[in-house]
Amino acid sequence: MNRKPIKKFWEKEAVRRRILLMLLIVSTTAVASGYMANVLPHMGRTGLEIALIIFFAMLFAWISIGFWTSFIGFLILMRRYNRFTINWPSYANDPGIEKNARTAILLPVYNESVNRVIAGLRATYESLAATGQMAPFDFFVLSDSTNPDRWVEEEAAWAELCKEVDGFGHIFYRHRRPNIKRKSGNIADFCRRWGRSYRYMVVLDADSIMNGGTLVRLVRLMEQNPDVGILQTAPTTVGRDTLIARVQQFANHVYGPMFAAGLSYWQLGDAQYWGHNAIIRIEPFMRHCALPQLPGEPPLGGHILSHDFVEAALMRRAGWEVWLAYDLGGSYEEAPPTLLDGLTRDRRWCQGNMQHMRLLLTRGIFPAHRALFLNGAMSYISAILWFMFLNLSTIEALAQAIFEPKYFPAHRTLFPHWPVWNPGWALTLLASTGFILFLPKLLSFFFILFKQRQAKLYGGFIKLSLSIGAEIVFSTFFAPIRMLFHSKFVFMILMGQKVGWHAQPREDRGTTWREAFRFHYGGMLLALIWGFIVYTINRSFFWWLTPILIPLVLSAPLSVWSGRADIGRMFRKYGLFLIPEEIKPPPELKSLKAYLAKLDTQAASLGIDRSKGFVQAVVDPKINRLHLAIQRQRRRVSPKIAERRRQLVQRALTEGPDELNDLEKKEILIDPTSLSSLHELVWESPEEIFSGRWRVSTP
Amino acid sequence: MKNQSVYPDIEPPADVAPSTTSTPEIYFGATDECTDWQNARDRVLLYLRSINMPPILGLSIALDVLRRAVKKCEVSTEYYPAQAAMLSLHEVLTERNLFPETRAFWDRRKIFCTSESTIPLNETAGILSETAAFSGGLPVAPPLKRGHMQPGFMDRKPVRSFFGRLFRRKKEPDRPVSKRTPKVPQRMVANGQPPEVRDEP
């Protein structure tokens, strides 16, 4: 049942603000496109030039959205007053949370590094415990892991954690075997089983950390705003050492707050949900936010990959508000450690955002959410637009060099057609584009320096200035590489190629040269050929293209070097890309580091590596027992299946765990009879099997 | 030192220095059979140590187990020492109800706990020894309280319906009703219960 469509107090203001945004975007785009038309030799009179102007206008409109959002965000932060913020300071002194406001903190995991997940969970748990308001909160590790080793590792780590923090009854573990609908299905499965026991859920990611005070505050805000269905925090990226991740962390800290404030200004109660670090009112979520399956086959049909935007739109369609608490701190996540990891994630997001285009005209979705769908898709489509714009520019430049200009066309004219190339105008246009792109960075600098007065948290005035300069260089270098990959993703999706579901790496592993060349050789080759042709035919245009071509040619080394943690640490040593959490780490991040170090150095039991979860479940009596206990009750199986499993156990015993594939391992793990039999048989086996095949070390 | 409650099963030292020729090789050493028995001993001790068995109790169990294993090997030739020892260990643990999840235990117990209920764990298993306060149980997950999530209405052909709406003159209600029959038990709707909420045992 949807809520009555009551006019919200902020809706009128939201309409006014969005009209203002539209006017600003249209006016700046119109002026810049006019300049562009004047820069072109035929003043936009040829078909090619018209196409160029159209692409330019779309791209300029796209970047001006970011510019105006940041600019408004800057004004809000400078004023330190926002009439429509959800996080009113007066709410801060409210009494504790009532016990009925039961809140589940969900940690969906999928084959992620168990140590990192558990250390993060522990840091959040202890931070919450320190607030003294643990009573209404429960934690759920919702595992979708398909790797049998990870599955057992998670169970053991969960039990150890509960034992260490006395978390039994507050920290729960559930493993789901059929991973239907991926993360959204995982959350929906929780809602179906236990959703009715809780009023709210805080959805985290495997790499999320939240401060206990922030969690309490989120619940209070939800209690005080009964019309709010989803309240999203603005997570800051922390905790990585690789160069590219440190650059992203720095950019997120310096420019992020301004951008988030600006977003909140336009969106008000029509904000988006980013899928994690947000609190959700469960009852309306269960009623209205179940995701439909899109008609047709993936990539554009099937299950919705980027569920978050759609859930926010459905929540809003049902009459509930979705807000962004942009000024609420204590919410953290981690950036992908390497360029290739980031691109792999983008590939998945790209498919999800392209699917949203199919929902763009769906009935009942609010216009603001339609705009968000379009905005999400444009994040990737803009890459292909840029790529096409560059191609058209190249064609225009080559045509100018190859073909003789026709001064006297066939029909009679008073004056000859005189192609004019005005470098001054081109430079003006370049400068104005640069202004749009880089002014927000400058504004952030001023904000930190003069309003926050927190330059020392970024290493001081000089290091902050140098870091911003270096970040601009890095982002300029990586932009063409991302553009090329995003264009490829969009093209592949439109051609019907779907994406798999892989775990996102949560550790600072680098990129090998082999990997880098395998992924980047196409782009490098393209840039070399492109550059050679332009250099040969129109040398003056070649220099205009170098900011695009040089990064593409260097993409493999850039990918390797930017993914190295030692280079990132070197930058840190010299005080570049520092963030406040590194200068003055909050307690929860300190705890995370300490727990992670402790878990990484834990000794192996029975000489079995902790990452060999399956072997542990078979050999280690404690883990074996724990796993059997967590399993569901025994089920009767057909004699055929029983016989197959018996043979599998026999094979596992004689050939050892290395000869089994993941499916076979899982079949043993899900069957208590097979697992307990194998456990006993291994322990009863001769020495060559016990120590040889199963590698148990006896003292 | 000679407190029976602390050393419940240890017999007099004379037992470990037998003088008769019928005594198995286990008591002497320096032969292949002795090496096998040493392996069996190590394995029993390893198992007991890995379940965090208290040291004295563990050693007394090991002694008991090895004696039983020797007898097993005397009676039948189908066992080798490590196998006999481990079989005996499981027997002893089951008899003393120290570590009941052996095959025999599983066969006796038809229904084990579901993942949603509490798990009975014996504290001697070690890993969860501190959970005795939970009256022998470990909550993996809270009790179920089932509800359901049914996807709401969404156009299957939004583009066509959008332009249809755009050019259609007549006014439509804001919230469209799905043409499909809701998959909600009718008795619940008849009872006036909200259709989204469903109680299950």
Which range has the top average pLDDT, A539-543, A605-609, B128-132? A539-543
**A691 in contact with B, Cβ within 8 Å:** no
Q: What is the mean pLDDT of residues A58-70?
A: 95
Question: What pLDDT, on a 0 to 100 scale, did the predictor assign at position B116?
Answer: 36
Beta bridge partners of A174: A142
What is the rounded distance in angstroms from the CA atom of residue A648 to the CA atom of residue A682? 14
pLDDT above 90 covers what percent of chain A? 70
**A625 in contact with B, Cβ within 8 Å:** yes
Q: What is the mean pLDDT of residues B117-121?
A: 40
Question: What pLDDT, on a 0 to 100 scale, did the predictor assign at position B28?
Answer: 47
Centroid of chain to Cα A284: 25
pLDDT above 70 covers what percent of chain B? 47
Nearest by CB: A633 against B42, B112, B131: B112
What is the rounded distance in angstroms from the CA atom of residue B181 to the CA atom of residue B201? 25
Q: Predicted confidence band at A583 (pLDDT cuts at 50, 70, 90)?
A: very high
Q: What is the mean pLDDT of residues A541-559?
A: 95
pLDDT digits (tens, 9 = 90+) for A406-422: 777 777 777 776 666 67
Instruction: Using the predicted structure, report yes or no on whether residue B121 has a pLDDT greater than 70.
Output: no
C-beta separation of A103 from A201 below 8 A = yes
Which residues in chain A have Cβ-Cβ distances shorter than 8 Å to B106?
A: 634, 672-673, 676
What is the rounded distance in angstroms from the CA atom of residue B44 to the CA atom of residue B37? 10
Q: What is the mean pLDDT of residues B136-153?
A: 79
Instruction: Using the predicted structure, report yes or no on whether residue B108 has a pLDDT greater than 50.
Output: no
Residue B19 Cα, gap to closest chain A Cα (Å): 31
Q: Measuring CA to CA, how many Å separate A304 from each of A368, A485, A493?
A: 20, 22, 14
C-beta separation of B44 from B83 below 8 A = no
- Mention every residue, 6+ apart, whose C-beta is less than 8 A from residue A22: none
What is the rounded distance in angstroms from the CA atom of residue A307 to the CA atom of residue A184? 6
Instruction: Using the predicted structure, report yes or no on whether residue B19 has a pLDDT greater than 60.
Output: no
Query: How many C-alpha atoms does A293 have within 13 Å on its Cβ side?
Result: 10
What secondary structure does DSSP assign to A314-369, as a single string? Answer: HHHHTT-EEEEETT---EEE---SSHHHHHHHHHHHHHHHHHHGGGTT-TT--HHH
Nearest by CB: B127 against A622, A631, A677: A622
Which residues in chain A have Cβ-Cβ distances shorter than 8 Å to B182?
A: none
Instruction: Name which residue leads in pLDDT, B174 or B130.
Output: B174
Nearest by CB: B50 against A173, A622, A630: A622
Which residues in chain A have Cβ-Cβ distances shorter than 8 Å to B86?
A: 680, 683-684
Which residues in chain B have Cβ-Cβ distances shorter than 8 Å to A138?
A: 142
Q: Measuring CA to CA, how many Å separate B94 from each of A441, A663, B58, B122?
A: 70, 32, 14, 12
DSSP A107: E
Instruction: Using the predicted structure, report yes or no on whether residue B120 has a pLDDT greater than 70.
Output: no
Cis link prior to A299 (omega < 30° from 0)? Answer: yes
Q: Picking from A369-378, A418-427, A625-634, B192-201, which range would have the lowest pLDDT averaged per residue?
A: B192-201
Question: What pLDDT, on a 0 to 100 scale, did the predictor assign at position A30?
Answer: 96
Question: What pLDDT, on a 0 to 100 scale, did the predictor assign at position B199?
Answer: 40
Characterise B52 by phi-psi region: left (phi > 0), alpha (psi -120 to 50), beta (else): left
Question: What pLDDT, on a 0 to 100 scale, did the predictor assign at position A422?
Answer: 72
Nearest C-alpha in A relative to B43: A698
- Which of B48, B78, B101, B163 is the best substitution to test chain A (most A C-beta atoms within 10 A)? B101
Nearest C-alpha in A relative to B69: A684
ipTM: 0.78
Question: What pLDDT, on a 0 to 100 scale, did the predictor assign at position A507?
Answer: 67
Which residues in chain B have Cβ-Cβ distances shorter than 8 Å to A622?
A: 50-52, 125-127
Give contacts of A 319-378 with B, CB under 8 A: 358-364
Give contacts of A 192-221 with B, CB under 8 A: 192-197
pLDDT digits (tens, 9 = 90+) for A286-321: 999 998 888 888 888 888 888 999 999 999 999 999
Instruction: Name which residue leads in pLDDT, B172 or A204.
Output: A204
What is the rounded distance in angstroms from the CA atom of residue B39 to the CA atom of residue B134? 38
Instruction: Using the predicted structure, report yes or no on whether residue B166 has a pLDDT greater than 90.
Output: no
Instruction: Using the predicted structure, report yes or no on whether residue A636 has a pLDDT greater than 80.
Output: no
pTM: 0.86
Average pLDDT score over chain A? 90
Question: What pLDDT, on a 0 to 100 scale, did the predictor assign at position B52?
Answer: 80
Q: What is the mean pLDDT of residues A541-556?
A: 95
- Using DSSP bridges, classify how beta strands A103-109 and A137-143 pair: parallel, antiparallel or unpaired: parallel
pLDDT digits (tens, 9 = 90+) for A168-185: 889 999 999 888 888 999
Q: Picking from A279-283, A342-346, A564-568, B157-161, which range would have the lowest pLDDT averaged per residue?
A: B157-161
DSSP B7: S
Q: What is the mean pLDDT of residues A495-514?
A: 76
Residue B18 Cα, gap to closest chain A Cα (Å): 28
Instruction: Name which residue leads in pLDDT, A520 or B129.
Output: A520
pLDDT digits (tens, 9 = 90+) for A592-613: 999 999 988 887 778 888 889 9
Question: What pLDDT, on a 0 to 100 scale, did the predictor assign at position A502?
Answer: 67
What is the rounded distance in angstroms from the CA atom of residue B52 to the CA atom of residue B121? 14
Instruction: Using the predicted structure, report yes or no on whether residue A458 has a pLDDT greater than 60.
Output: yes
C-beta separation of A88 from A461 below 8 A = no
Instruction: Name which residue leads in pLDDT, A7 or A580.
Output: A580
pLDDT digits (tens, 9 = 90+) for A72-96: 999 999 988 788 888 876 655 666 7
Phi, psi of A417 (to 5 degrees): -80, 120
Question: What pLDDT, on a 0 to 100 scale, did the predictor assign at position A242?
Answer: 95
Q: Do A629 and B126 touch (CB under 8 A)?
A: no
Number of Cβ within 10 Å of residue A600's Cβ equals 13
Nearest C-alpha in A relative to B111: A633
pLDDT digits (tens, 9 = 90+) for B70-102: 998 888 888 888 999 999 998 888 788 776 544
pLDDT digits (tens, 9 = 90+) for A644-693: 999 999 999 999 999 999 999 999 999 988 998 899 899 999 888 888 88
pLDDT digits (tens, 9 = 90+) for A479-504: 999 999 999 999 999 998 877 666 66
- Mention every residue, 6+ apart, whose C-beta is less than 8 A from residue A371: none
